[in-house]
Structure formats: C-alpha cells, structure tokens
C-alpha cells in the first residue's frame, strides 16, 4: 500500500490574512452582488496608490534595452553588481555596516526569504517570535519545527514594545532558542521601536549568544515624529544579524516580488557563518528571483524623485493613520495604539467586552447561515467571530488579531485607503458596526 500524502505539519501553516479571502469568495458565490472593502491585505495598489511615473519609466527603459537581458535568468543570488550596490547602500545608511555583497541574497519577495531562512535552521533549534507577528514568520518557523511557535510578548499597554522580561524568561526556559525575530517598523501593530529597545534586545542576544533576525521591510515608512533606527546601527559587530528589506513596500509594487536578505557580521561566529552558507545554498534551488525589479533597484532608489515621493507617501500615510485612529478612539471598548510606521493598526477589544452570543444583522439568509456555521465550531476565537459577522454584515474585511498570534482579541486594519469618501464611509460603518455588535448581547 502507498504511504500517506497527508502532512501532519500542515496544522502549523497559518495565514489568516489570505485565508479570509476564501471566505469572501464563498460569500460572493452565495450572493454575486456581495461587495467587499478589503482591509486585510497591505497592498497599496488596491487602495488607490499608483506606481510613480519615474518607476514606470525605469521599467520601460529596462524592458526596451537591447539584448533583452531582464527576460533571462539572473544570477541565483541576484546579479553581483546589484548586490554590490545593496552592500554599498548599507554602508551609506549605516556607516558602521561591514556588509559584504557575497552575503546579500535577492529573493522572490521576502515571503520566499522567510521560507528559506526558517527552512535552513538546524532541526531542534528554534527562533523565538514576537506575539503578535506577521504570520509568515511564526507560521514558517513553527511549520519547520513541527511545533507551536515559541513567542515573546509585545506589550499593548506600552505602545506594543517588546516585553524584555518575557523575552528573557522564554529564552531561559527554552535552551533550544538560537535566534530572535523582530519586525521594525511593525506589522501588524504599526509600532516603531527606538534605540533603547533595540539595545536591550542586542544585550540579550549577546548574553545568550543568539542571532537576531530583523525584518525591516517598512524601514522607510515612519511618521508622527518618529525616527527609524536600524538594528545594523545599534548592533555594530556585536551579534550575528540578518536584516530583511525589499521593494514590495518601498514603492507600490508588491506584485514585483523583489526582496533581499543581508547577512551581517558573518565572521563573528562559525556556526552562524555555516548557517548563512546553508541559506545561500538553499537559495540556488529557487533558480533566481524575478529579474526585472531586481535590475532597476539601484536606479530606483538613487533616483532624485524617490526621496521626494517617499516623503509625500509618509506624509499621506501619517494623515490617513491619524484620521482612522481618531475615529476608532471614539469607541470606549477599544484600545487603540496609533500607527507610527508601516501601514497597519491593531485596535484591541478591552477585556470582557466580547462574548459568543454577539451578532450583527445579515440581510442575505444564505450568507447568515454560512457565517453562523463558520463561527459555531468549538475554539473559534471571539475576535474571529466578530470579524466574520462584520464581513457578512458590512462587507468590511478585517483580520482578527488572533490571526497574528495575538493573545489579546482585536483586529488589524490597513491604513492605506487613499479615497477620503471611501475611507470615511468604511470607518463610520466600522465604528457603527462595532457598537451594534457589542450591544447585541
């Protein structure tokens, strides 16, 4: 008899941001007129942002270049000239950086980098994850380990800063921990961490000889008077450090699938160095990352219009995030930490305000029945129940906070909607629906 195809580790793969897309699909099958306002995926394009003209110009020039090079494969780790530019950029931004271009890897978006990085962690070693987190990190780490993720708490009562005591106590009680993941600026919370937080994390990494994996994909998106501080600057050459960056969020081109990994301080520790070499080898099996976006990376970032565009993007993101926060702050039952970076916010429901009898009116009987069935099962989180009722009743699609491994119930929204009319409508409707839901039982 043939052996089984079913992989028991699948239970550890979770990505609620897009799992809810299947639910939307079902609702549309029941009612083809069902209209959705997607607040689940951080894609600026669907929220009215356009690719700047200078980026389109660079793409056009590259496509029309004689020889059609970008239609062929690139070097598996990314073209050496482009990787040299990344290493040089690192030194330009952070003068203490000693990044060597041989330790820069281009990947098909950071999604592919995240998979490869956790894939090559030796069996039995664990990388501790923040809670809440961007689910790809915790989910891939947990899938590779075949066990629930080991997590440290981000504290919503202190602007979502890492709870350093909790982090240290987790490290002490889990000697298999070999590294710490952090995301700054943060998805899903919109928090931006200052130098003291980074310093505390580095001290722990030094004390317990751990590597740090710093996802800085949103590093150019910081506002409300905050300033971005990179792990590269604070860590110097004290700890093994992996930094993730990419194009997906720097310009509205997440479909370009272009990200890169920077392995800093490779000579600090032979174990870490052999891990870096293993990831480099693993990346060869991906063949190469999408050639076109990679090829224009240096010219895009060095273009005089990039800085101008980035400033206006941040100014508008700040305005949108603050308008949304003001609306949500009007609800007593919510605890709102304003976003200071990236383009997300995760309001939490105050303790005890949710229960499993609350509902919202749903006009279409087929949709009502579907949602009632979906939330009836055992173990459905209270914030997931809220998110499903909200979706079915208003079309607004948020992701429950528990989908980001949060131990506090809430929901994550994007702060990207550019159209003021749509934005006002969405958040007026959302606040009304929250009030109705909370008063329904």
Ligand X SMILES: Cc1ncc(COP(=O)(O)O)c(C=O)c1O
Number of residues that bind ligand X (CB under 6 A): 13
Residue 320's nearest CA partner among 337, 344, 336 is 344
Q: Which is nearer to ligand X, 111 or 298 (CB)?
A: 111
Instruction: Answer yes or no whether residue 19 interacts with ligand X by CB under 6 A.
Output: no
Whether omega before 291 lies within 30 degrees of 0, making that bond cis, reads no
- Kindly give the interhelix angle for 291-302 and 53-64, rounded to the nearest 10 degrees: 130
- Round to whole Å and give the CA distance between 151 and 180: 9
Residue 85's nearest CA partner among 295, 277, 231, 236 is 295
- Written as six digits, the tokens of 414 are 């994007």
Q: Which is nearer to ligand X, 44 or 109 (CB)?
A: 109
Instruction: Answer yes or no whether residue 259 interacts with ligand X by CB under 6 A.
Output: yes
Nearest approach, Cβ of residue 297 and ligand X (Å): 13
Hey, is 211 helix, strand or coil? Answer: strand
Nearest approach, Cβ of residue 256 and ligand X (Å): 9
Nearest approach, Cβ of residue 46 and ligand X (Å): 13
Instruction: Answer yes or no whether residue 134 interacts with ligand X by CB under 6 A.
Output: yes
Q: Which is nearer to ligand X, 112 or 375 (CB)?
A: 112
Query: Using CB under 6 A, which of the segments 103-111, 124-132, 156-164, 283-291 binds ligand X?
Result: 103-111
Q: Figure out which of the listed residues 79, 248, 289, 359 binds ligand X, where binding follows CB under 6 A.
A: 248
Instruction: Answer yes or no whether residue 170 interacts with ligand X by CB under 6 A.
Output: no
- Written as six digits, the tokens of 419 are 């159209």
Say which residues have a Cβ less than 8 Å from residue 264's Cβ, sequence separation at least 6.
97, 98, 99, 103, 232, 235, 240, 241, 242, 243
Query: Using CB under 6 A, which of the segments 108-116, 281-289, 354-362, 390-398 binds ligand X?
Result: 108-116
Nearest approach, Cβ of residue 116 and ligand X (Å): 12
Instruction: Answer yes or no whether residue 254 interacts with ligand X by CB under 6 A.
Output: yes
Nearest approach, Cβ of residue 89 and ligand X (Å): 17
Asked if residues 131 and 405 have their Cβ atoms less than 8 Å apart, the reply is yes
Query: Using CB under 6 A, which of the segments 4-12, 109-117, 193-201, 347-355 binds ligand X?
Result: 109-117
Query: Using CB under 6 A, which of the segments 88-96, 107-115, 333-341, 432-440 binds ligand X?
Result: 107-115
Phi, psi values for residue 75, rounded to 5°: -55, 145
Nearest approach, Cβ of residue 110 and ligand X (Å): 4
Q: Figure out which of the listed residues 14, 27, 39, 42 binds ligand X, where binding follows CB under 6 A.
A: 42
Query: Using CB under 6 A, which of the segments 88-96, 104-112, 297-305, 425-433 binds ligand X?
Result: 104-112
Instruction: Answer yes or no whether residue 110 interacts with ligand X by CB under 6 A.
Output: yes
Length of the chain: 441
The region that residue 160 occupies, defined by phi over 0 for left and psi between -120 and 50 for alpha, beta otherwise, is left
Nearest approach, Cβ of residue 19 and ligand X (Å): 15
Instruction: Answer yes or no whether residue 252 interacts with ligand X by CB under 6 A.
Output: no
DSSP character string of 215-283:
E-TTTT-B-TT-----HHHHHTTSS-EEEEEESTTTTT-GGG--EEEEEE-GGG-HHHHHHHHHHHHHH
Q: Which residues bind ligand X (CB under 6 A)?
A: 42, 109-111, 134, 183, 187, 215, 217, 246, 248, 254, 259
């Amino acid at each position: 008899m043939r052996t089984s195809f079913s992989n028991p580790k699948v239970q550890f793969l979770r990505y609620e941001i897009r799992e809810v897309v299947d639910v939307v699909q079902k609702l549309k099958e029941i009612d083809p007129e069902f209209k959705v306002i997607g607040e689940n995926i951080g894609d600026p394009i669907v929220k009215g942002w356009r690719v700047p003209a200078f980026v389109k110009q660079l793409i056009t020039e590259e496509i029309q270049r004689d020889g059609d090079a970008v239609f062929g494969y690139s070097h598996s780790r990314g073209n050496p000239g482009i990787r040299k530019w990344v290493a040089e950029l690192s030194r330009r931004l952070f003068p203490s950086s000693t990044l060597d271009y041989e330790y820069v890897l281009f990947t098909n978006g950071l999604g592919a980098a995240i998979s490869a990085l956790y894939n090559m962690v030796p069996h039995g070693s664990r990388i501790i994850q923040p809670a809440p987190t961007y689910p790809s990190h915790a989910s891939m780490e947990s899938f590779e380990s075949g066990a629930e993720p080991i997590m440290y708490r981000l504290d919503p009562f202190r602007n979502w800063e890492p709870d350093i005591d909790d982090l240290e106590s987790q490290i002490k009680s889990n000697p298999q921990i070999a590294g710490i993941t952090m995301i700054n600026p943060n998805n899903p919370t919109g928090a931006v961490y200052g130098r003291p937080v980074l310093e505390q994390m580095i001290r722990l990494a030094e004390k317990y000889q751990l590597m740090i994996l710093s996802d800085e994909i949103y590093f150019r998106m910081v506002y409300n008077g905050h300033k971005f501080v990179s792990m590269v600057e604070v860590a110097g050459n004290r700890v093994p450090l992996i930094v993730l960056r990419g194009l997906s969020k720097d310009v509205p081109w997440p479909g370009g699938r272009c990200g890169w990994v920077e392995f800093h301080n490779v000579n600090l520790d032979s174990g870490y160095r052999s891990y870096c070499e293993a990831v480099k080898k693993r990346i060869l099996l991906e063949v190469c990352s999408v050639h076109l976006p990679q090829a224009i990376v240096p010219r895009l970032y060095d273009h005089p219009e990039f800085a101008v565009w980035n400033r206006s993007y941040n100014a508008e993101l700040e305005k949108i995030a603050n308008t949304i926060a003001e609306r949500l702050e009007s609800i007593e039952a919510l605890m709102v930490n304003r976003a200071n970076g990236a383009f997300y916010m995760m309001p939490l429901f105050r303790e005890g305000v949710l229960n499993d009898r609350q509902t919202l009116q749903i006009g279409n009987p087929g949709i009502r029945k579907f949602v009632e069935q979906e939330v009836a099962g055992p173990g459905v989180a209270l914030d997931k129940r809220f998110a499903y009722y909200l979706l079915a009743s208003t079309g607004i699609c948020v992701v429950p906070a528990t989908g980001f491994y949060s131990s506090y119930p809430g929901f994550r929204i994007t702060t990207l909607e550019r159209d003021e009319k749509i934005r006002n409508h969405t958040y007026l409707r959302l606040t009304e629906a929250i009030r109705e839901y909370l008063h329904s039982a």
